[in-house]
Amino acid sequence: MVAVVLPSTVLVALGVQLMRQERELAIQQAANERRLVVSQARQTLFAKLEQVQREVFEARTGDTPGFGSTAFPETALVLATQINDGVLRLPWMPDRRAELGRTSLRTEPFARRVARGKRAEFVGGDAARAIELYEDALAGAQDSIQAAYARLLLARALGKSGRRDEAISQNQRLLALPPHVTDEVGIPIALFAAGRLLDELDGGRAVIEKLGTIVNEQRWRSPAEAYMLRDLLDEASTTHGSSERQTVVDLQQRIGSEIAVIERVIDLRNELPGLGLRFGGTLEDTYGSRWIRWGDDWLVGSTPIHDDAWGIVAFSIRQLLALAPALPNWPGAAEMIIADATEPNAASEPLDPAIAEVRIAVLDDALPGSGAAVRRRGFYVGALLLVLSVTLFGAYLFWLDVRRELRMGELRTLFVSSVSHELKTPLTAIRMFAERLQLKKQPDPKMQTEYLATIVGESERLTRLLNNVLDLSKIEQAQKRYRQDPVELADVVDRTVRAIGYPLARGGFTLNVDVDGHPPRVHGDADALEQALLNLLSNAMKYSGENREIDLRLFVQNGAAVIEVSDRGVGIPTAVQERLTEKFYRVPTAENERIPGTGLGLALVHHAVEAHGGHLTIQSAEGEGSTFAIHLPLETR
């Protein structure tokens, strides 16, 4: 046990220590790889954001103050605009189209004619006079803005005067105007006509198409225009037909998103001074941007545009979460997440020290060395299990060997004791009767015959015992050979009965012999079969108990010759019947301890029968006797 347990313990301790060191090394390596992945992800993302900032501000033309998600949809950009004296410049201001509209509409004599028409319409209540003045202004219009505005006023006056068809005609011409034709506040004049035609035509398809064209423009629109579009679409949703319903719903969602961005821009402008972003210095004083998370979904940063100007950019965090993994140099093991700042994910790091909620999480299973670490750990565990299995298997074999040796030692001791007892009894009888014959010079002839019969019977008993021992020795050395000659089983039975006649008579046994009328013939060794049958009859005599009747039958059954020996003795427990043919095995009962025997008889019978191609069957029950049957294949003629 020490030879097995001690090396196994050492191997297990060394294996556990090695796996512990390997685990610590794997944890350290994973931490290093995680830091590299986070660093690479952070650099990749901020490099992309810086690139977008440069592109968006370099793309500015004229006085266009900024661009939004409509200009750079694939980058999650929401806002890019300048900072003037620390104040965020609204991206829709100044509106060049509104400036053009104000300039055009204030030009004389157009402005004077329009003023006279409005005065006649609203102050004098004279719609007919107002129509004349608006037509005069339309005739004298110097550009498309003046013409569109005069026509808009004319259509309104026509409607008031009851000239509905003419008013609709004028509004339809206005509806066809391009969106850049606006009034003095930058609202496309076509929107005013759209509102009138919705009332007149119950939401015609042309009105819906015009609203869609204006909504889908890629530009910042003023809050006034956005709110007007929303109101018109809300009205259209209640008046248009079912065929345009889905189109109107899509446009409502689009303009609703734009209004939400516009309102957030206004809020950002109001809160900007308190956000802590830097808006001063030169390009030499700072590099890149400072970032904060503002609101629920905006990543806001400040960046220098040139030496004396700074800008503000904002990205949608949720769009960045989806777009970041598609960046060219983005590491596959990293992903962006939004975590609670008070309980950040332990396996993640913040995108920026100032943005604790936006974090980069690392998937340990996707780290470059994760697979190798798992494979190494699996190899060590497998090797340790293999060594332990081999060691334990060797220990098991050793234990079996020791157990077998101990058992064989016990069986040898029992065998020596049994053989000694078996030898002592007949030798004592032979010596005793021989001495009696020697003492009496002229003994009684009857007594002399009895003495000599006893001596011969005991000698035959000694012969059978010695034959059993010799047969066992030959079997164990694989030297036992059986002749293969034609054998009349009736002759074998007859010789066996004569050989065991004296022991039967001396023990007071009655042997009932029943041989089939057509005795079977087999191919085999007659002496070996006789020895086997003698062993069965000897066992029947030993274990018959108080009953002194034994049956011996020879018959043919199922194409085989059967020699059956039955007694009416103590019987054999069912649980141990399978072990009866083992060498030296005897049923461990108190009665058996008083009955002499070597435990070899049935083992030799089993071996002989199998060598002849047959088999031995046992039927027994405790207290009801036993039946042993030898089944042998018949000789083929």
Average predicted confidence (pLDDT) for the chain: 80
Closest to 60 measured CA to CA, from 262, 459, 68: 68
Burial of 540 (0-12, 13-18, 19+ CB in 10 A): buried
pLDDT for 138 beyond 90? yes
More confident residue, 70 or 228: 228
pLDDT in tens, 347-358: 678 877 777 778
Residue 443 confidence (pLDDT):
62
pLDDT for 633 beyond 80? yes
More confident residue, 450 or 532: 532
pLDDT for 208 beyond 80? yes
Residue 116 confidence (pLDDT):
94
Closest to 586 measured CA to CA, from 539, 531, 538, 552: 539
More confident residue, 226 or 33: 226
Burial of 498 (0-12, 13-18, 19+ CB in 10 A): exposed
pLDDT-based confidence at residue 200 (cuts at 50, 70, 90): low
The answer to whether residues 415 and 599 touch, using CB atoms and an 8 Å cutoff, is yes
Burial of 200 (0-12, 13-18, 19+ CB in 10 A): middle
pLDDT for 63 beyond 60? no
Q: How far apart (Å, rounded) are the C-alpha atoms in residues 56 and 70? A: 12
The boundaries of every CATH 3.30.565.10 domain in the chain are 482-633
More confident residue, 148 or 466: 148
Residue 565 confidence (pLDDT):
92
Q: What is the mean pLDDT of residues 612-618?
A: 89
Residue 120 confidence (pLDDT):
93
Burial letters 3-19, b for 16+ CB under 10 A, else e: eeeeebeeeeeebeeeb
The answer to whether residues 627 and 565 touch, using CB atoms and an 8 Å cutoff, is yes
pLDDT in tens, 244-278: 788 888 999 999 999 999 999 999 999 988 887 77
The token pair at 19 is 């796996």
pLDDT for 404 beyond 90? no
Lowest mean pLDDT among 34-48, 90-104, 166-180, 328-342: 328-342
Q: What is the mean pLDDT of residues 473-493?
A: 74
DSSP state for residue 69 in the 8-state scheme = T
Residue 342 confidence (pLDDT):
57
Residue 391 confidence (pLDDT):
76
pLDDT in tens, 288-327: 457 888 888 888 888 877 767 788 888 888 888 888 888 8
Residue 476 confidence (pLDDT):
58
Using alpha carbons, list the distances in angstroms from residue 1 to 14, 109, 385, 393, 406: 20, 120, 19, 13, 16
Residue 335 confidence (pLDDT):
81
- Highest mean pLDDT range out of 42-46, 174-178, 195-199? 174-178
pLDDT in tens, 524-566: 888 888 888 888 888 888 888 888 899 999 998 888 899 999 9
Element (H, E) at 602: helix 601-611
The token pair at 188 is 């496309």
pLDDT for 140 beyond 50? yes
pLDDT-based confidence at residue 631 (cuts at 50, 70, 90): very high
Element (H, E) at 148: helix 144-160
Residue 524 confidence (pLDDT):
85
Burial of 312 (0-12, 13-18, 19+ CB in 10 A): buried
More confident residue, 248 or 380: 248
Superfamily of domain 482-633, CATH level 4: Histidine kinase-like ATPase, C-terminal domain (3.30.565.10)
Rg (CA), the chain: 58
Closest to 289 measured CA to CA, from 268, 271, 269, 275: 275
More confident residue, 600 or 296: 296
For the sheet containing 615-620, what is the strand order? 510-515, 549-557, 560-567, 626-633, 615-620
Residue 130 confidence (pLDDT):
93
DSSP state for residue 122 in the 8-state scheme = I
Element (H, E) at 102: helix 96-105
Amino acid at 307: D
Question: Strand 549-557 and strand 510-515: pairing?
Answer: parallel
pLDDT in tens, 428-444: 767 776 776 777 655 67
Lowest mean pLDDT among 13-22, 139-148, 218-227: 13-22
The SS3 of residue 448 is helix
Tokens 């058992």 sit at which residue? 407
Residue 322 confidence (pLDDT):
83
Q: How far apart (Å, rounded) are the C-alpha atoms in residues 27 and 459? A: 85
pLDDT for 612 beyond 60? yes
Q: How far apart (Å, rounded) are the C-alpha atoms in residues 202 and 235? A: 10
Q: What is the mean pLDDT of residues 122-148?
A: 93
Residue 387 confidence (pLDDT):
74
Residue 351 confidence (pLDDT):
78
Closest to 598 measured CA to CA, from 411, 468, 418, 408: 418
Closest to 463 measured CA to CA, from 507, 490, 499: 499
- Across 371-457, the runs of DSSP E, i.e. the strands, are none
Contacts of 137 (CB under 8 A, 6+ apart): 110, 113, 114, 117, 146, 150, 153
Closest to 622 measured CA to CA, from 581, 564, 568: 568
Contacts of 422 (CB under 8 A, 6+ apart): 465, 596, 597, 598
The boundaries of every CATH 1.25.40 domain in the chain are 96-274
Query: Which residues are paired to 245 by β-bridges?
Result: none
Residue 65 confidence (pLDDT):
40
pLDDT in tens, 142-192: 999 999 999 999 999 999 998 988 999 999 999 999 988 999 888 999 999
For the chain, percent of residues with pLDDT exceeding 70: 79
Class of the 96-274 domain? mainly alpha
- Across 265-338, the runs of DSSP E, i.e. the strands, are 290-294, 298-306, 309-316, 334-338
Q: How far apart (Å, rounded) are the C-alpha atoms in residues 52 and 108? A: 46
pLDDT for 344 beyond 90? no
The token pair at 450 is 């009895």
Residue 148 confidence (pLDDT):
94
Q: How far apart (Å, rounded) are the C-alpha atoms in residues 176 and 151? A: 12
